Amino acid sequence: MASSSLAISPRKLRSDLYAYSYQNDSNTPLVISVLSSLIERTMARNERIARSCSWALSKDIRSGVFDCYETPDMTIQSYLERIFRYTKAGPSVYVVAYVYIDRFCQANPGFRINARNVHRLLITTIMVASKYVEDRNYRNSYFARVGGLNTKELNKLEVEFLFLMGFKLHVNVSVFESYCCHLEREVSIGGGYHIEKTLRCAEEIKSRQNEHKRYINQIARIML
Protein backbone atom coordinates (compact mmCIF):
# COMPACT_ATOMS: atom_id res chain seq x y z
CA MET A 1 0.00 0.00 0.00
CA ALA A 2 1.34 3.42 -0.92
CA SER A 3 2.07 5.79 1.91
CA SER A 4 0.96 9.41 1.84
CA SER A 5 4.54 10.40 2.80
CA LEU A 6 6.15 8.41 -0.03
CA ALA A 7 8.34 10.50 -2.31
CA ILE A 8 7.64 10.13 -6.01
CA SER A 9 10.65 10.80 -8.19
CA PRO A 10 10.30 12.81 -11.41
CA ARG A 11 11.77 9.86 -13.35
CA LYS A 12 9.15 7.49 -11.96
CA LEU A 13 6.45 10.07 -12.63
CA ARG A 14 7.45 10.46 -16.27
CA SER A 15 7.65 6.69 -16.69
CA ASP A 16 4.12 6.21 -15.36
CA LEU A 17 2.91 9.19 -17.34
CA TYR A 18 3.83 7.87 -20.74
CA ALA A 19 4.04 4.12 -20.18
CA TYR A 20 0.94 3.40 -18.10
CA SER A 21 -0.57 0.05 -19.04
CA TYR A 22 -4.27 -0.78 -18.89
CA GLN A 23 -3.56 -4.50 -18.55
CA ASN A 24 -4.70 -6.52 -15.56
CA ASP A 25 -1.25 -6.48 -14.01
CA SER A 26 -0.97 -2.68 -13.97
CA ASN A 27 0.34 -1.08 -10.81
CA THR A 28 -1.83 1.33 -8.86
CA PRO A 29 -1.66 4.75 -10.60
CA LEU A 30 0.15 7.53 -8.75
CA VAL A 31 -2.93 9.72 -9.12
CA ILE A 32 -4.66 7.63 -6.43
CA SER A 33 -2.07 8.59 -3.83
CA VAL A 34 -2.27 12.19 -4.96
CA LEU A 35 -6.06 12.33 -4.85
CA SER A 36 -6.32 10.61 -1.46
CA SER A 37 -3.77 13.02 0.01
CA LEU A 38 -5.66 16.04 -1.29
CA ILE A 39 -9.04 14.79 -0.08
CA GLU A 40 -7.65 13.99 3.36
CA ARG A 41 -6.28 17.53 3.64
CA THR A 42 -9.66 18.90 2.53
CA MET A 43 -11.43 16.84 5.19
CA ALA A 44 -8.99 18.02 7.88
CA ARG A 45 -9.59 21.63 6.86
CA ASN A 46 -13.36 21.13 6.97
CA GLU A 47 -13.09 19.63 10.46
CA ARG A 48 -11.09 22.63 11.69
CA ILE A 49 -13.66 25.01 10.23
CA ALA A 50 -16.53 23.05 11.80
CA ARG A 51 -14.89 23.19 15.23
CA SER A 52 -14.29 26.93 15.07
CA CYS A 53 -17.41 28.11 13.24
CA SER A 54 -20.90 27.08 14.26
CA TRP A 55 -22.35 28.13 10.89
CA ALA A 56 -20.14 25.57 9.16
CA LEU A 57 -22.17 22.81 10.79
CA SER A 58 -25.21 23.68 8.71
CA LYS A 59 -25.72 21.28 5.83
CA ASP A 60 -27.70 21.04 2.66
CA ILE A 61 -30.47 18.54 3.37
CA ARG A 62 -30.42 17.30 -0.23
CA SER A 63 -26.72 16.44 -0.23
CA GLY A 64 -27.18 14.63 3.09
CA VAL A 65 -28.04 11.57 1.00
CA PHE A 66 -24.30 10.81 0.94
CA ASP A 67 -24.09 10.54 4.72
CA CYS A 68 -23.79 7.02 6.10
CA TYR A 69 -24.96 5.93 9.55
CA GLU A 70 -21.51 4.72 10.61
CA THR A 71 -18.13 6.01 9.50
CA PRO A 72 -16.50 3.33 7.30
CA ASP A 73 -13.37 1.81 8.82
CA MET A 74 -11.26 2.30 5.69
CA THR A 75 -8.83 5.04 4.73
CA ILE A 76 -9.33 7.07 1.57
CA GLN A 77 -6.15 5.57 0.11
CA SER A 78 -7.30 2.00 0.79
CA TYR A 79 -10.78 2.71 -0.59
CA LEU A 80 -9.41 4.18 -3.82
CA GLU A 81 -6.98 1.28 -4.17
CA ARG A 82 -9.87 -1.16 -3.73
CA ILE A 83 -11.86 0.60 -6.45
CA PHE A 84 -8.89 0.48 -8.81
CA ARG A 85 -8.14 -3.15 -7.99
CA TYR A 86 -11.60 -4.33 -8.96
CA THR A 87 -12.52 -1.88 -11.73
CA LYS A 88 -9.15 -1.08 -13.33
CA ALA A 89 -10.41 2.41 -14.08
CA GLY A 90 -7.64 4.38 -15.81
CA PRO A 91 -5.89 7.36 -14.19
CA SER A 92 -7.90 9.86 -16.25
CA VAL A 93 -11.07 8.59 -14.56
CA TYR A 94 -9.82 9.78 -11.18
CA VAL A 95 -8.95 13.22 -12.54
CA VAL A 96 -12.43 13.57 -14.04
CA ALA A 97 -13.92 12.33 -10.75
CA TYR A 98 -12.08 15.12 -8.97
CA VAL A 99 -13.50 17.62 -11.48
CA TYR A 100 -16.98 16.33 -10.61
CA ILE A 101 -16.33 16.55 -6.87
CA ASP A 102 -15.23 20.16 -7.24
CA ARG A 103 -18.27 21.03 -9.37
CA PHE A 104 -20.54 19.27 -6.89
CA CYS A 105 -19.13 21.25 -3.95
CA GLN A 106 -19.44 24.52 -5.87
CA ALA A 107 -23.05 23.77 -6.81
CA ASN A 108 -23.87 22.81 -3.21
CA PRO A 109 -22.04 25.26 -0.90
CA GLY A 110 -23.68 23.74 2.18
CA PHE A 111 -21.96 20.43 1.50
CA ARG A 112 -18.75 19.57 3.37
CA ILE A 113 -16.64 16.51 2.62
CA ASN A 114 -16.18 14.55 5.83
CA ALA A 115 -15.59 11.01 7.08
CA ARG A 116 -19.31 10.18 6.89
CA ASN A 117 -19.88 11.10 3.25
CA VAL A 118 -16.51 10.84 1.49
CA HIS A 119 -16.67 7.13 0.63
CA ARG A 120 -20.11 7.33 -0.96
CA LEU A 121 -19.15 10.48 -2.81
CA LEU A 122 -16.02 8.82 -4.19
CA ILE A 123 -17.64 5.63 -5.46
CA THR A 124 -20.43 7.68 -7.08
CA THR A 125 -18.15 10.18 -8.82
CA ILE A 126 -15.71 7.50 -9.96
CA MET A 127 -18.54 5.41 -11.40
CA VAL A 128 -19.99 8.40 -13.25
CA ALA A 129 -16.53 9.49 -14.44
CA SER A 130 -15.81 5.96 -15.66
CA LYS A 131 -19.00 6.02 -17.72
CA TYR A 132 -17.88 9.33 -19.24
CA VAL A 133 -14.24 8.39 -19.95
CA GLU A 134 -14.11 4.65 -20.57
CA ASP A 135 -15.52 2.83 -23.58
CA ARG A 136 -16.58 -0.22 -21.55
CA ASN A 137 -17.87 -0.23 -17.98
CA TYR A 138 -19.19 -2.48 -15.27
CA ARG A 139 -22.82 -2.29 -14.23
CA ASN A 140 -23.96 -0.26 -11.25
CA SER A 141 -24.49 -3.48 -9.33
CA TYR A 142 -20.78 -4.30 -9.66
CA PHE A 143 -19.66 -0.82 -8.61
CA ALA A 144 -22.02 -1.11 -5.65
CA ARG A 145 -20.36 -4.33 -4.46
CA VAL A 146 -16.93 -2.78 -4.88
CA GLY A 147 -17.99 0.29 -2.90
CA GLY A 148 -19.70 -1.65 -0.12
CA LEU A 149 -23.25 -0.60 -1.03
CA ASN A 150 -26.27 -2.33 -2.45
CA THR A 151 -27.41 -1.57 -5.97
CA LYS A 152 -30.49 0.39 -4.89
CA GLU A 153 -28.38 2.71 -2.74
CA LEU A 154 -25.86 3.43 -5.47
CA ASN A 155 -28.58 3.99 -8.06
CA LYS A 156 -30.13 6.58 -5.76
CA LEU A 157 -26.78 8.25 -5.13
CA GLU A 158 -26.09 8.47 -8.86
CA VAL A 159 -29.43 10.10 -9.61
CA GLU A 160 -29.14 12.55 -6.70
CA PHE A 161 -25.59 13.42 -7.69
CA LEU A 162 -26.52 14.14 -11.29
CA PHE A 163 -29.39 16.42 -10.30
CA LEU A 164 -27.43 18.19 -7.56
CA MET A 165 -24.65 19.11 -10.00
CA GLY A 166 -27.05 19.98 -12.80
CA PHE A 167 -25.88 17.18 -15.13
CA LYS A 168 -22.69 19.15 -15.90
CA LEU A 169 -20.59 16.15 -16.88
CA HIS A 170 -18.69 17.39 -19.93
CA VAL A 171 -14.95 17.84 -19.34
CA ASN A 172 -13.01 19.28 -22.26
CA VAL A 173 -9.27 19.07 -22.77
CA SER A 174 -8.43 22.47 -21.28
CA VAL A 175 -10.49 21.78 -18.14
CA PHE A 176 -8.92 18.35 -17.76
CA GLU A 177 -5.40 19.74 -18.06
CA SER A 178 -6.14 22.63 -15.69
CA TYR A 179 -7.30 20.19 -13.00
CA CYS A 180 -4.17 18.12 -13.52
CA CYS A 181 -2.13 21.27 -12.90
CA HIS A 182 -4.31 22.16 -9.90
CA LEU A 183 -3.84 18.75 -8.32
CA GLU A 184 -0.13 18.88 -9.07
CA ARG A 185 0.26 22.32 -7.47
CA GLU A 186 -1.94 21.69 -4.44
CA VAL A 187 -0.48 18.34 -3.51
CA SER A 188 3.11 19.45 -4.10
CA ILE A 189 2.51 22.02 -1.35
CA GLY A 190 1.27 19.40 1.08
CA GLY A 191 3.57 16.48 0.45
CA GLY A 192 5.90 16.94 -2.50
CA TYR A 193 3.70 14.96 -4.84
CA HIS A 194 3.13 15.40 -8.54
CA ILE A 195 0.21 13.96 -10.40
CA GLU A 196 0.72 11.76 -13.41
CA LYS A 197 -0.95 13.21 -16.47
CA THR A 198 -2.23 10.14 -18.21
CA LEU A 199 -4.38 12.03 -20.66
CA ARG A 200 -5.83 9.12 -22.57
CA CYS A 201 -9.28 10.67 -22.85
CA ALA A 202 -7.81 14.10 -23.58
CA GLU A 203 -5.51 12.70 -26.25
CA GLU A 204 -8.42 10.90 -27.88
CA ILE A 205 -10.35 14.18 -27.99
CA LYS A 206 -7.35 15.96 -29.50
CA SER A 207 -6.94 13.18 -32.05
CA ARG A 208 -10.58 13.45 -33.11
CA GLN A 209 -10.26 17.23 -33.36
CA ASN A 210 -7.15 16.90 -35.55
CA GLU A 211 -8.85 14.34 -37.77
CA HIS A 212 -11.83 16.66 -38.15
CA LYS A 213 -9.55 19.55 -39.12
CA ARG A 214 -7.77 17.40 -41.71
CA TYR A 215 -11.14 16.34 -43.10
CA ILE A 216 -12.30 19.97 -43.37
CA ASN A 217 -9.04 20.94 -45.08
CA GLN A 218 -9.41 18.09 -47.56
CA ILE A 219 -12.96 19.17 -48.38
CA ALA A 220 -11.81 22.75 -48.79
CA ARG A 221 -9.05 21.74 -51.23
CA ILE A 222 -11.47 19.64 -53.26
CA MET A 223 -13.95 22.53 -53.49
CA LEU A 224 -11.19 24.87 -54.61
pLDDT in tens, 85-137: 999 888 888 989 999 999 999 998 888 899 999 999 999 999 999 999 888 88
d(CA 193, CA 5): 9
CATH number for the segment(s) 10-193: 1.10.472.10
Q: Give 199's pLDDT tier (boundaries 50, 70, 90).
A: very low
- What's the predicted TM-score (pTM) here? 0.75
**CA–CA distance, 38 with 216 (Å, rounded to integer):** 43
Length in residues, the chain: 224
Q: Where are the domains of the chain?
A: 10-193, 194-223
Q: Is 82 exposed, middle or buried (0-12, 13-18, 19+ CB in 10 A)?
A: middle
The four Cα atoms 71, 76, 81, 83 give a dihedral, to 10 degrees, of 50
Inter-residue contact 71 to 115 (CB < 8 Å): yes
